[in-house]
Structure 1
Amino acid sequence: MNKETYKKILLPFIVLLVLIQVWSGLATIVEDFPTPSDTYVYAFGGETADGDEIEGVLSDPFYIENQDDKGLFWQILASLERVFAGFVLAIIVGVPVGLLVGMSKNFQYAFEPFIQIFKPVSPLAWLPLLLFVFQDINATAISTIFITSIWPIIINTALGVKNVSEDYLNVAKVLQFTSLEKITKIILPVAVPYIFTGMRLSLGIAWLVIVAAEMLTGGIGIGFWIWDEYNNLSYHNIIIGIILVGLIGFILDVMMGKIADYFDYRKRT
Protein backbone atom coordinates (compact mmCIF):
# COMPACT_ATOMS: atom_id res chain seq x y z
CA MET A 1 0.00 0.00 0.00
CA ASN A 2 1.23 3.50 -0.83
CA LYS A 3 1.25 6.55 1.43
CA GLU A 4 -2.14 7.82 0.25
CA THR A 5 -3.80 4.47 0.97
CA TYR A 6 -2.39 4.47 4.51
CA LYS A 7 -3.78 7.96 5.03
CA LYS A 8 -7.23 6.94 3.79
CA ILE A 9 -7.27 4.15 6.39
CA LEU A 10 -5.44 5.78 9.28
CA LEU A 11 -7.02 9.24 9.34
CA PRO A 12 -10.67 8.05 9.48
CA PHE A 13 -9.62 5.58 12.21
CA ILE A 14 -8.15 8.45 14.26
CA VAL A 15 -11.36 10.46 13.84
CA LEU A 16 -13.37 7.38 14.91
CA LEU A 17 -11.31 7.09 18.11
CA VAL A 18 -11.90 10.77 18.85
CA LEU A 19 -15.65 10.37 18.28
CA ILE A 20 -15.76 7.38 20.62
CA GLN A 21 -13.95 9.39 23.30
CA VAL A 22 -16.42 12.27 22.89
CA TRP A 23 -19.29 9.78 23.04
CA SER A 24 -17.88 8.23 26.23
CA GLY A 25 -17.47 11.68 27.75
CA LEU A 26 -21.07 12.56 26.90
CA ALA A 27 -22.23 9.33 28.56
CA THR A 28 -20.52 10.37 31.81
CA ILE A 29 -22.19 13.79 31.74
CA VAL A 30 -25.72 12.88 30.64
CA GLU A 31 -27.47 10.46 32.99
CA ASP A 32 -28.49 7.12 31.41
CA PHE A 33 -26.91 8.07 28.07
CA PRO A 34 -25.71 4.87 26.34
CA THR A 35 -21.97 4.18 26.45
CA PRO A 36 -20.13 2.84 23.37
CA SER A 37 -19.46 -0.51 25.04
CA ASP A 38 -23.07 -1.03 26.15
CA THR A 39 -24.32 0.02 22.70
CA TYR A 40 -22.09 -2.65 21.17
CA VAL A 41 -23.63 -5.22 23.52
CA TYR A 42 -27.16 -4.10 22.60
CA ALA A 43 -26.19 -4.50 18.96
CA PHE A 44 -24.48 -7.91 19.01
CA GLY A 45 -25.46 -9.38 22.38
CA GLY A 46 -23.53 -10.09 25.54
CA GLU A 47 -23.25 -8.74 29.07
CA THR A 48 -23.52 -5.02 29.84
CA ALA A 49 -21.44 -3.11 32.39
CA ASP A 50 -24.31 -3.58 34.88
CA GLY A 51 -24.18 -7.36 34.45
CA ASP A 52 -27.36 -7.66 32.39
CA GLU A 53 -27.40 -10.31 29.68
CA ILE A 54 -28.65 -8.79 26.43
CA GLU A 55 -29.66 -10.41 23.15
CA GLY A 56 -28.45 -7.94 20.53
CA VAL A 57 -30.77 -6.60 17.85
CA LEU A 58 -28.22 -7.60 15.20
CA SER A 59 -27.76 -11.11 16.55
CA ASP A 60 -30.96 -12.23 14.80
CA PRO A 61 -31.98 -9.61 12.22
CA PHE A 62 -34.09 -12.07 10.21
CA TYR A 63 -36.68 -13.06 12.81
CA ILE A 64 -40.40 -12.61 12.13
CA GLU A 65 -42.65 -12.65 15.19
CA ASN A 66 -45.70 -11.20 13.44
CA GLN A 67 -46.57 -8.66 10.76
CA ASP A 68 -45.53 -5.72 12.93
CA ASP A 69 -42.67 -7.34 14.85
CA LYS A 70 -39.77 -8.20 12.55
CA GLY A 71 -35.99 -8.16 12.68
CA LEU A 72 -33.86 -5.27 11.47
CA PHE A 73 -33.21 -6.87 8.10
CA TRP A 74 -36.91 -6.72 7.24
CA GLN A 75 -37.21 -3.18 8.61
CA ILE A 76 -34.37 -1.99 6.38
CA LEU A 77 -35.68 -3.97 3.40
CA ALA A 78 -39.12 -2.35 3.71
CA SER A 79 -37.51 1.10 3.79
CA LEU A 80 -35.33 0.35 0.77
CA GLU A 81 -38.34 -0.90 -1.21
CA ARG A 82 -40.14 2.40 -0.59
CA VAL A 83 -37.01 4.42 -1.35
CA PHE A 84 -36.38 2.75 -4.70
CA ALA A 85 -40.06 2.89 -5.67
CA GLY A 86 -40.15 6.66 -5.15
CA PHE A 87 -36.67 7.06 -6.66
CA VAL A 88 -37.59 5.20 -9.86
CA LEU A 89 -40.75 7.28 -10.24
CA ALA A 90 -38.65 10.42 -9.82
CA ILE A 91 -36.32 9.23 -12.61
CA ILE A 92 -39.21 8.34 -14.95
CA VAL A 93 -40.77 11.78 -14.55
CA GLY A 94 -37.72 13.90 -13.78
CA VAL A 95 -35.48 13.03 -16.73
CA PRO A 96 -38.05 13.85 -19.48
CA VAL A 97 -39.07 17.06 -17.69
CA GLY A 98 -35.41 18.03 -17.29
CA LEU A 99 -34.80 17.41 -21.00
CA LEU A 100 -37.75 19.61 -21.91
CA VAL A 101 -36.67 22.38 -19.54
CA GLY A 102 -33.12 22.25 -20.89
CA MET A 103 -34.11 22.15 -24.56
CA SER A 104 -36.94 24.68 -24.60
CA LYS A 105 -36.97 28.22 -23.23
CA ASN A 106 -40.76 28.08 -23.08
CA PHE A 107 -40.70 24.99 -20.87
CA GLN A 108 -38.00 26.60 -18.74
CA TYR A 109 -40.11 29.73 -18.22
CA ALA A 110 -43.16 27.58 -17.46
CA PHE A 111 -41.57 25.16 -14.97
CA GLU A 112 -38.73 27.08 -13.31
CA PRO A 113 -40.87 29.14 -10.88
CA PHE A 114 -42.60 26.00 -9.60
CA ILE A 115 -39.31 24.11 -9.30
CA GLN A 116 -37.86 26.92 -7.19
CA ILE A 117 -41.03 27.13 -5.05
CA PHE A 118 -41.49 23.43 -4.32
CA LYS A 119 -37.81 22.39 -4.16
CA PRO A 120 -37.20 23.75 -0.62
CA VAL A 121 -40.47 22.43 0.85
CA SER A 122 -39.77 19.96 3.66
CA PRO A 123 -41.03 16.38 3.23
CA LEU A 124 -42.76 16.74 6.61
CA ALA A 125 -44.98 19.42 5.06
CA TRP A 126 -46.16 17.03 2.33
CA LEU A 127 -46.84 14.05 4.60
CA PRO A 128 -50.19 15.07 6.18
CA LEU A 129 -51.69 16.04 2.83
CA LEU A 130 -50.46 12.90 1.04
CA LEU A 131 -51.66 10.68 3.89
CA PHE A 132 -55.08 12.29 3.58
CA VAL A 133 -55.10 11.70 -0.20
CA PHE A 134 -53.83 8.10 -0.28
CA GLN A 135 -54.97 6.78 3.12
CA ASP A 136 -52.13 4.26 2.84
CA ILE A 137 -48.73 4.17 4.54
CA ASN A 138 -46.72 2.80 1.60
CA ALA A 139 -48.29 5.07 -1.01
CA THR A 140 -47.77 8.09 1.26
CA ALA A 141 -44.10 7.30 1.88
CA ILE A 142 -43.40 6.57 -1.81
CA SER A 143 -45.16 9.71 -3.03
CA THR A 144 -43.33 11.83 -0.43
CA ILE A 145 -40.00 10.45 -1.64
CA PHE A 146 -41.02 11.08 -5.25
CA ILE A 147 -42.00 14.71 -4.64
CA THR A 148 -38.91 15.60 -2.60
CA SER A 149 -36.30 13.73 -4.65
CA ILE A 150 -37.39 14.68 -8.17
CA TRP A 151 -35.90 18.20 -8.13
CA PRO A 152 -32.17 17.31 -8.32
CA ILE A 153 -32.91 15.06 -11.31
CA ILE A 154 -34.82 17.79 -13.17
CA ILE A 155 -32.27 20.50 -12.37
CA ASN A 156 -29.18 18.45 -13.24
CA THR A 157 -30.74 17.01 -16.40
CA ALA A 158 -31.58 20.52 -17.60
CA LEU A 159 -28.05 21.64 -16.72
CA GLY A 160 -26.62 18.76 -18.74
CA VAL A 161 -28.71 19.70 -21.77
CA LYS A 162 -27.57 23.33 -21.55
CA ASN A 163 -23.95 22.19 -21.52
CA VAL A 164 -24.27 20.60 -24.96
CA SER A 165 -21.97 22.47 -27.31
CA GLU A 166 -23.67 24.66 -29.88
CA ASP A 167 -21.37 23.10 -32.50
CA TYR A 168 -22.91 19.69 -31.84
CA LEU A 169 -26.40 21.09 -32.28
CA ASN A 170 -25.36 22.75 -35.53
CA VAL A 171 -24.08 19.41 -36.79
CA ALA A 172 -27.48 17.90 -35.94
CA LYS A 173 -29.15 20.61 -38.04
CA VAL A 174 -26.80 19.98 -40.98
CA LEU A 175 -27.47 16.24 -40.82
CA GLN A 176 -31.20 16.98 -40.48
CA PHE A 177 -31.62 14.89 -37.34
CA THR A 178 -35.14 14.42 -36.04
CA SER A 179 -35.89 15.58 -32.49
CA LEU A 180 -35.53 12.01 -31.24
CA GLU A 181 -32.22 11.52 -33.04
CA LYS A 182 -30.92 14.83 -31.68
CA ILE A 183 -31.79 13.71 -28.13
CA THR A 184 -30.37 10.18 -28.39
CA LYS A 185 -27.25 10.94 -30.46
CA ILE A 186 -26.26 14.45 -29.36
CA ILE A 187 -27.90 15.57 -26.12
CA LEU A 188 -28.05 12.41 -23.99
CA PRO A 189 -24.39 11.38 -24.40
CA VAL A 190 -23.35 14.81 -23.09
CA ALA A 191 -26.10 15.10 -20.45
CA VAL A 192 -25.78 11.58 -18.98
CA PRO A 193 -23.06 12.50 -16.42
CA TYR A 194 -25.20 15.38 -15.18
CA ILE A 195 -28.29 13.14 -15.06
CA PHE A 196 -26.48 10.58 -12.92
CA THR A 197 -25.19 13.32 -10.63
CA GLY A 198 -28.81 14.37 -10.13
CA MET A 199 -29.80 10.75 -9.53
CA ARG A 200 -27.05 10.38 -6.94
CA LEU A 201 -28.26 13.46 -5.07
CA SER A 202 -31.85 12.29 -5.43
CA LEU A 203 -31.12 8.87 -3.93
CA GLY A 204 -29.44 10.49 -0.94
CA ILE A 205 -32.47 12.70 -0.39
CA ALA A 206 -34.80 9.71 -0.78
CA TRP A 207 -32.98 7.77 1.94
CA LEU A 208 -33.01 10.87 4.15
CA VAL A 209 -36.74 11.39 3.65
CA ILE A 210 -37.80 7.80 4.31
CA VAL A 211 -36.68 7.90 7.96
CA ALA A 212 -38.77 10.99 8.71
CA ALA A 213 -41.71 9.66 6.68
CA GLU A 214 -41.79 6.32 8.49
CA MET A 215 -41.52 7.98 11.89
CA LEU A 216 -44.80 9.79 11.19
CA THR A 217 -46.68 7.18 9.18
CA GLY A 218 -45.81 4.12 11.27
CA GLY A 219 -45.83 0.54 10.04
CA ILE A 220 -42.66 -1.37 9.31
CA GLY A 221 -39.40 0.33 8.36
CA ILE A 222 -36.15 1.57 9.89
CA GLY A 223 -37.61 5.02 10.59
CA PHE A 224 -40.58 3.64 12.51
CA TRP A 225 -38.27 1.16 14.28
CA ILE A 226 -36.12 4.03 15.59
CA TRP A 227 -39.23 5.93 16.74
CA ASP A 228 -40.63 2.82 18.37
CA GLU A 229 -37.35 2.30 20.26
CA TYR A 230 -37.60 5.90 21.47
CA ASN A 231 -41.10 5.22 22.81
CA ASN A 232 -39.65 2.15 24.56
CA LEU A 233 -36.82 4.30 25.99
CA SER A 234 -34.28 2.03 24.25
CA TYR A 235 -31.69 4.71 23.59
CA HIS A 236 -29.01 2.15 22.78
CA ASN A 237 -31.11 0.91 19.88
CA ILE A 238 -31.71 4.46 18.65
CA ILE A 239 -27.96 4.93 18.29
CA ILE A 240 -27.71 1.55 16.51
CA GLY A 241 -30.47 2.65 14.14
CA ILE A 242 -28.71 5.97 13.44
CA ILE A 243 -25.45 4.16 12.64
CA LEU A 244 -27.25 1.71 10.35
CA VAL A 245 -29.04 4.52 8.51
CA GLY A 246 -25.72 6.28 8.02
CA LEU A 247 -23.92 3.14 6.82
CA ILE A 248 -26.66 2.22 4.35
CA GLY A 249 -26.77 5.80 3.07
CA PHE A 250 -23.00 5.67 2.58
CA ILE A 251 -23.24 2.37 0.69
CA LEU A 252 -26.03 3.69 -1.55
CA ASP A 253 -24.00 6.81 -2.32
CA VAL A 254 -20.88 4.80 -3.17
CA MET A 255 -22.87 2.45 -5.42
CA MET A 256 -24.55 5.34 -7.22
CA GLY A 257 -21.21 7.09 -7.55
CA LYS A 258 -19.66 4.00 -9.20
CA ILE A 259 -22.58 3.77 -11.63
CA ALA A 260 -22.29 7.48 -12.41
CA ASP A 261 -18.55 7.13 -13.06
CA TYR A 262 -19.17 4.21 -15.40
CA PHE A 263 -21.52 6.28 -17.57
CA ASP A 264 -19.38 9.43 -17.39
CA TYR A 265 -17.53 9.60 -20.72
CA ARG A 266 -15.20 12.26 -19.23
CA LYS A 267 -13.69 9.67 -16.88
CA ARG A 268 -13.24 7.01 -19.55
CA THR A 269 -11.26 9.11 -22.02
Structure 2
Amino acid sequence: MNKELLKKIFLPLIVLVIIIQVWSGVAAFISGFPTPSDTFVYAFGGTTSSGDEIKGALSDPFYVENQDDKGIFWQLVESLKRVFAGFALAVIVGVPIGLMVGMSKNIHYALDPFIQILKPVSPLAWLPLLLFAFKDIDNTAISTIFVTSIWPIIINTSLGVKNVSEDYLNVAKVLRFTSLEKVFKIILPVAVPYIFAGMRLSLGIAWLVIVAAEMLTGGIGIGFWIWDEYNNLAYHNIIIGIIIVGLVGFILDIFMGKIADYFDYRKKV
Protein backbone atom coordinates (compact mmCIF):
# COMPACT_ATOMS: atom_id res chain seq x y z
CA MET A 1 0.00 0.00 0.00
CA ASN A 2 1.63 3.27 -1.11
CA LYS A 3 2.04 6.34 1.07
CA GLU A 4 -0.51 8.43 -0.86
CA LEU A 5 -3.24 5.84 -0.35
CA LEU A 6 -2.44 5.60 3.37
CA LYS A 7 -2.83 9.36 3.67
CA LYS A 8 -6.21 9.22 1.90
CA ILE A 9 -7.38 6.60 4.42
CA PHE A 10 -5.87 7.75 7.71
CA LEU A 11 -6.13 11.55 7.42
CA PRO A 12 -9.95 11.48 7.04
CA LEU A 13 -10.11 9.02 9.97
CA ILE A 14 -8.15 11.47 12.14
CA VAL A 15 -10.55 14.25 11.17
CA LEU A 16 -13.51 11.93 11.93
CA VAL A 17 -12.16 11.27 15.43
CA ILE A 18 -11.80 15.03 15.99
CA ILE A 19 -15.36 15.64 14.76
CA ILE A 20 -16.73 12.97 17.12
CA GLN A 21 -14.82 14.48 20.04
CA VAL A 22 -16.14 17.97 19.27
CA TRP A 23 -19.63 16.51 18.83
CA SER A 24 -19.37 14.80 22.22
CA GLY A 25 -18.24 18.07 23.77
CA VAL A 26 -21.21 19.93 22.30
CA ALA A 27 -23.57 17.20 23.56
CA ALA A 28 -22.07 17.51 27.06
CA PHE A 29 -22.45 21.29 26.97
CA ILE A 30 -26.02 21.43 25.55
CA SER A 31 -28.57 19.49 27.56
CA GLY A 32 -30.52 17.01 25.41
CA PHE A 33 -28.24 17.32 22.39
CA PRO A 34 -27.77 13.89 20.70
CA THR A 35 -24.50 12.13 21.57
CA PRO A 36 -22.55 10.16 18.93
CA SER A 37 -23.18 6.82 20.68
CA ASP A 38 -26.93 7.39 21.05
CA THR A 39 -27.17 8.59 17.43
CA PHE A 40 -25.54 5.32 16.33
CA VAL A 41 -28.19 3.42 18.32
CA TYR A 42 -30.99 5.51 16.78
CA ALA A 43 -29.56 4.66 13.37
CA PHE A 44 -29.06 0.90 13.72
CA GLY A 45 -31.04 -0.05 16.82
CA GLY A 46 -30.09 -1.10 20.33
CA THR A 47 -30.13 0.36 23.82
CA THR A 48 -29.35 4.02 24.46
CA SER A 49 -27.30 5.38 27.35
CA SER A 50 -30.56 6.11 29.19
CA GLY A 51 -31.72 2.48 28.84
CA ASP A 52 -34.30 2.99 26.10
CA GLU A 53 -34.69 0.24 23.51
CA ILE A 54 -34.62 1.74 20.01
CA LYS A 55 -35.46 0.01 16.73
CA GLY A 56 -33.27 2.27 14.57
CA ALA A 57 -34.11 4.32 11.49
CA LEU A 58 -31.75 2.26 9.29
CA SER A 59 -32.57 -1.16 10.73
CA ASP A 60 -35.54 -1.52 8.36
CA PRO A 61 -35.21 1.11 5.60
CA PHE A 62 -37.64 -0.69 3.25
CA TYR A 63 -40.77 -0.83 5.42
CA VAL A 64 -44.06 0.58 4.11
CA GLU A 65 -46.71 1.25 6.76
CA ASN A 66 -48.92 3.44 4.56
CA GLN A 67 -48.62 6.07 1.84
CA ASP A 68 -47.18 8.65 4.24
CA ASP A 69 -45.20 6.34 6.53
CA LYS A 70 -42.34 4.64 4.70
CA GLY A 71 -38.76 3.62 5.43
CA ILE A 72 -35.86 5.92 4.71
CA PHE A 73 -35.00 4.09 1.48
CA TRP A 74 -38.35 5.09 -0.02
CA GLN A 75 -37.91 8.63 1.26
CA LEU A 76 -34.62 8.83 -0.66
CA VAL A 77 -36.18 7.30 -3.78
CA GLU A 78 -38.91 9.96 -3.84
CA SER A 79 -36.36 12.74 -3.38
CA LEU A 80 -34.07 11.37 -6.09
CA LYS A 81 -36.99 11.03 -8.53
CA ARG A 82 -37.77 14.73 -8.09
CA VAL A 83 -34.11 15.70 -8.29
CA PHE A 84 -33.47 13.86 -11.56
CA ALA A 85 -36.73 15.11 -13.09
CA GLY A 86 -35.85 18.75 -12.35
CA PHE A 87 -32.22 18.18 -13.33
CA ALA A 88 -33.20 16.57 -16.66
CA LEU A 89 -35.44 19.55 -17.50
CA ALA A 90 -32.59 21.92 -16.63
CA VAL A 91 -30.26 20.03 -19.01
CA ILE A 92 -32.83 19.91 -21.85
CA VAL A 93 -33.52 23.65 -21.62
CA GLY A 94 -30.16 24.92 -20.35
CA VAL A 95 -27.82 23.39 -22.95
CA PRO A 96 -29.55 24.89 -26.02
CA ILE A 97 -29.84 28.29 -24.31
CA GLY A 98 -26.17 28.12 -23.33
CA LEU A 99 -25.20 27.31 -26.91
CA MET A 100 -27.18 30.28 -28.22
CA VAL A 101 -25.74 32.64 -25.58
CA GLY A 102 -22.23 31.50 -26.44
CA MET A 103 -22.68 31.68 -30.21
CA SER A 104 -24.53 34.98 -30.49
CA LYS A 105 -23.40 38.26 -28.95
CA ASN A 106 -26.91 39.70 -29.38
CA ILE A 107 -28.50 36.82 -27.43
CA HIS A 108 -25.76 37.16 -24.82
CA TYR A 109 -26.47 40.89 -24.43
CA ALA A 110 -30.21 40.19 -24.22
CA LEU A 111 -30.14 37.33 -21.69
CA ASP A 112 -27.03 37.87 -19.56
CA PRO A 113 -28.53 40.57 -17.26
CA PHE A 114 -31.48 38.31 -16.42
CA ILE A 115 -29.22 35.28 -15.88
CA GLN A 116 -27.08 37.30 -13.46
CA ILE A 117 -30.16 38.61 -11.62
CA LEU A 118 -31.99 35.27 -11.32
CA LYS A 119 -28.93 33.09 -10.65
CA PRO A 120 -28.47 34.08 -6.96
CA VAL A 121 -32.18 33.90 -6.06
CA SER A 122 -32.73 31.39 -3.25
CA PRO A 123 -35.00 28.39 -3.91
CA LEU A 124 -36.99 29.44 -0.84
CA ALA A 125 -37.98 32.61 -2.70
CA TRP A 126 -39.40 30.59 -5.62
CA LEU A 127 -41.26 28.00 -3.55
CA PRO A 128 -44.36 30.00 -2.50
CA LEU A 129 -45.01 31.25 -6.04
CA LEU A 130 -44.49 27.83 -7.62
CA LEU A 131 -46.64 26.13 -4.98
CA PHE A 132 -49.39 28.64 -5.75
CA ALA A 133 -49.00 28.00 -9.49
CA PHE A 134 -48.90 24.18 -9.44
CA LYS A 135 -50.75 23.36 -6.19
CA ASP A 136 -48.93 20.02 -6.25
CA ILE A 137 -46.00 18.86 -4.15
CA ASP A 138 -44.11 16.97 -6.85
CA ASN A 139 -44.50 19.59 -9.58
CA THR A 140 -43.53 22.36 -7.15
CA ALA A 141 -40.36 20.54 -6.06
CA ILE A 142 -39.39 19.65 -9.64
CA SER A 143 -39.98 23.17 -10.95
CA THR A 144 -38.03 24.67 -8.03
CA ILE A 145 -35.09 22.40 -8.83
CA PHE A 146 -35.34 23.33 -12.50
CA VAL A 147 -35.41 27.09 -11.85
CA THR A 148 -32.50 27.06 -9.42
CA SER A 149 -30.22 24.50 -11.10
CA ILE A 150 -30.42 25.62 -14.73
CA TRP A 151 -27.97 28.53 -14.37
CA PRO A 152 -24.67 26.58 -14.04
CA ILE A 153 -25.59 24.64 -17.18
CA ILE A 154 -26.31 27.80 -19.20
CA ILE A 155 -23.21 29.61 -17.95
CA ASN A 156 -20.79 26.70 -18.41
CA THR A 157 -22.20 25.79 -21.83
CA SER A 158 -21.79 29.35 -23.08
CA LEU A 159 -18.27 29.41 -21.61
CA GLY A 160 -17.45 26.22 -23.51
CA VAL A 161 -18.70 27.74 -26.76
CA LYS A 162 -16.58 30.86 -26.21
CA ASN A 163 -13.50 28.65 -25.74
CA VAL A 164 -13.80 27.24 -29.26
CA SER A 165 -10.72 28.32 -31.21
CA GLU A 166 -11.24 30.87 -33.99
CA ASP A 167 -9.17 28.60 -36.23
CA TYR A 168 -11.81 25.87 -35.90
CA LEU A 169 -14.57 28.32 -36.77
CA ASN A 170 -12.62 29.53 -39.78
CA VAL A 171 -12.27 25.94 -40.97
CA ALA A 172 -16.05 25.60 -40.65
CA LYS A 173 -16.46 28.67 -42.88
CA VAL A 174 -14.03 27.32 -45.48
CA LEU A 175 -15.87 23.98 -45.54
CA ARG A 176 -19.20 25.87 -45.67
CA PHE A 177 -20.71 24.05 -42.73
CA THR A 178 -24.35 24.76 -41.97
CA SER A 179 -25.18 26.08 -38.49
CA LEU A 180 -26.12 22.59 -37.29
CA GLU A 181 -22.95 21.07 -38.74
CA LYS A 182 -20.89 23.76 -37.03
CA VAL A 183 -22.58 23.01 -33.70
CA PHE A 184 -22.22 19.23 -33.85
CA LYS A 185 -18.83 18.96 -35.56
CA ILE A 186 -16.95 21.95 -34.15
CA ILE A 187 -18.60 23.54 -31.10
CA LEU A 188 -20.02 20.60 -29.12
CA PRO A 189 -16.82 18.50 -29.07
CA VAL A 190 -15.00 21.45 -27.50
CA ALA A 191 -17.86 22.54 -25.23
CA VAL A 192 -18.79 19.08 -23.89
CA PRO A 193 -16.34 19.14 -20.92
CA TYR A 194 -17.71 22.55 -19.89
CA ILE A 195 -21.29 21.32 -20.29
CA PHE A 196 -20.67 18.33 -18.02
CA ALA A 197 -18.90 20.55 -15.48
CA GLY A 198 -22.05 22.69 -15.42
CA MET A 199 -24.22 19.59 -15.09
CA ARG A 200 -22.10 18.44 -12.15
CA LEU A 201 -22.65 21.78 -10.38
CA SER A 202 -26.32 21.71 -11.32
CA LEU A 203 -26.91 18.24 -9.86
CA GLY A 204 -25.26 19.32 -6.60
CA ILE A 205 -27.56 22.34 -6.43
CA ALA A 206 -30.58 20.16 -7.25
CA TRP A 207 -29.81 17.83 -4.32
CA LEU A 208 -29.28 20.85 -2.08
CA VAL A 209 -32.59 22.39 -3.13
CA ILE A 210 -34.73 19.27 -2.72
CA VAL A 211 -34.19 19.12 1.05
CA ALA A 212 -35.40 22.70 1.55
CA ALA A 213 -38.26 22.22 -0.92
CA GLU A 214 -39.55 19.07 0.78
CA MET A 215 -39.32 20.65 4.22
CA LEU A 216 -41.76 23.35 3.12
CA THR A 217 -44.03 21.39 0.79
CA GLY A 218 -44.44 18.27 2.95
CA GLY A 219 -45.42 14.85 1.63
CA ILE A 220 -42.76 12.18 1.39
CA GLY A 221 -39.03 12.66 0.85
CA ILE A 222 -35.81 12.95 2.84
CA GLY A 223 -36.29 16.68 3.43
CA PHE A 224 -39.80 16.21 4.85
CA TRP A 225 -38.57 13.21 6.88
CA ILE A 226 -35.94 15.41 8.58
CA TRP A 227 -38.51 18.13 9.28
CA ASP A 228 -41.00 15.56 10.58
CA GLU A 229 -38.37 14.17 12.96
CA TYR A 230 -37.80 17.71 14.23
CA ASN A 231 -41.53 18.06 14.93
CA ASN A 232 -41.39 14.70 16.75
CA LEU A 233 -38.40 15.96 18.81
CA ALA A 234 -36.32 13.08 17.40
CA TYR A 235 -33.10 15.07 17.16
CA HIS A 236 -30.96 11.96 16.75
CA ASN A 237 -32.79 11.19 13.50
CA ILE A 238 -32.13 14.73 12.26
CA ILE A 239 -28.40 14.06 12.48
CA ILE A 240 -28.90 10.71 10.75
CA GLY A 241 -30.80 12.50 7.99
CA ILE A 242 -28.04 15.11 7.62
CA ILE A 243 -25.41 12.37 7.29
CA ILE A 244 -27.51 10.50 4.71
CA VAL A 245 -28.10 13.67 2.67
CA GLY A 246 -24.36 14.37 2.72
CA LEU A 247 -23.43 10.82 1.68
CA VAL A 248 -25.94 10.74 -1.17
CA GLY A 249 -24.76 14.15 -2.36
CA PHE A 250 -21.17 12.88 -2.23
CA ILE A 251 -22.08 9.80 -4.30
CA LEU A 252 -23.96 11.92 -6.87
CA ASP A 253 -20.97 14.24 -7.20
CA ILE A 254 -18.58 11.31 -7.74
CA PHE A 255 -21.00 9.82 -10.30
CA MET A 256 -21.24 13.06 -12.30
CA GLY A 257 -17.50 13.63 -11.93
CA LYS A 258 -16.75 10.23 -13.51
CA ILE A 259 -19.09 10.99 -16.41
CA ALA A 260 -17.55 14.44 -16.88
CA ASP A 261 -14.05 12.93 -16.90
CA TYR A 262 -15.12 10.34 -19.47
CA PHE A 263 -16.29 13.04 -21.90
CA ASP A 264 -13.38 15.41 -21.19
CA TYR A 265 -11.04 15.07 -24.17
CA ARG A 266 -8.42 17.13 -22.31
CA LYS A 267 -7.84 14.25 -19.88
CA LYS A 268 -7.37 11.73 -22.69
CA VAL A 269 -4.53 13.56 -24.38
TM-score by length of 2: 1.00
Aligned to 1:138: 138
Aligned to 2:173: 173
Opposite residue 73 of structure 2, the aligned amino acid is F
User: SS where residue 101 of structure 2 aligns?
Assistant: helix
Shift of 1:51: 1.2
Matches within 5 A, 1:149-164: 149-164=149-164
Opposite residue 231 of structure 1, the aligned amino acid is N
Aligned to 1:63: 63
CA deviation profile, 1:27-55 (whole Å, cap 9, x unmatched): 00000000000000000001111111100
Distance 2:31 2:22 in 1: 15
Aligned residues: 269
Aligned to 2:94: 94
Aligned to 1:267: 267
Shift of 1:105: 0.4
Distance 2:214 2:51 in 1: 34
Shift of 1:224: 0.2
Distance 2:189 2:12 in 1: 37
Distance 1:16 1:178 in 2: 56
Would you say 1:121 and 2:126 are equivalent positions?
no
Opposite residue 182 of structure 1, the aligned amino acid is K
CA deviation profile, 1:154-195 (whole Å, cap 9, x unmatched): 000000000000000000000111111100010000000000
Matches within 5 A, 1:17-56: 17-56=17-56
CA deviation profile, 1:47-93 (whole Å, cap 9, x unmatched): 11111110001000000000000000000000000000000000000
Shift of 1:245: 0.2
User: SS where residue 255 of structure 2 aligns?
Assistant: helix
User: SS where residue 65 of structure 1 aligns?
Assistant: strand
CA deviation profile, 1:94-121 (whole Å, cap 9, x unmatched): 0000000000001101110100010000
Shift of 1:123: 0.2
RMSD: 0.4
User: SS where residue 214 of structure 1 aligns?
Assistant: helix
Distance 1:37 1:21 in 2: 11
Matches within 5 A, 1:175-254: 175-254=175-254
Opposite residue 250 of structure 1, the aligned amino acid is F
The list of structure 1 runs, each at least 4 consecutive aligned residues, that deviate by more than 3 angstroms after superposition, is: none
TM-score by length of 1: 1.00
Opposite residue 120 of structure 2, the aligned amino acid is P
Distance 1:235 1:199 in 2: 34
Opposite residue 223 of structure 1, the aligned amino acid is G
User: SS where residue 59 of structure 1 aligns?
Assistant: coil
